Amino acid sequence: MAKAPRFQHLLTSIGVLRHPCDLDLLLFFHRHPHALLTSDRLAAYVGYDLNQTARSLDLLTDAGFLKRSQNPTHAARMYVLQTSGTGWLASLIDVASTPEGRRSLLDAMKEASEAEASHAESTQSDVLRRARRRTSVS
């Protein structure tokens, strides 16, 4: 994990990526910027279960990295990668295109997720402590 801090600056720029599926979908859509696929087929291509793929697709769509068609009469959707104004994408793709770089990015993503979870837990503990203090003072 010693190499993860080297890529931390990229994760600061693209802080929404927290799961390996997020990164793998971004790489998939970099290689296939216009793709007409069903969710099942896309999940099979990237190697994750359908639920995780759906969560990652929602994340990438909400973050503005991906557009997808909304046509309820068709099982397949058109996915289009949105790259305007994302200069970090070239750096990310360059790093993630090698096995070592991808592993380092995944390690950095894991560290960032763990740090967020730890921060959330400590914040929740602080709130509970203050609430207990208030009730014991009352």
pLDDT tens sequence across 18-65: 899 999 999 999 999 999 999 999 999 999 999 999 999 999 999 888
Reading the block at residue 92, the tokens are: 């990310």
Instruction: Please state the pTM of the whole predicted model.
Output: 0.73
pLDDT tens sequence across 75-129: 899 999 987 655 777 788 888 888 998 888 888 888 877 776 776 666 666 666 6
Question: Total domain count for the chain?
Answer: 1
Supply the range of the domain harboring residue 43: 4-137
Amino acid (1-letter code) at residue 79: Y
CA angle 21, 43, 19 (to 5 degrees): 10
Q: Are 38 and 75 in contact (CB under 8 A)?
A: yes
**Phi and psi dihedrals of 100, rounded to 5?**
-65, -45
CATH number at residue 96: 1.10.10.10
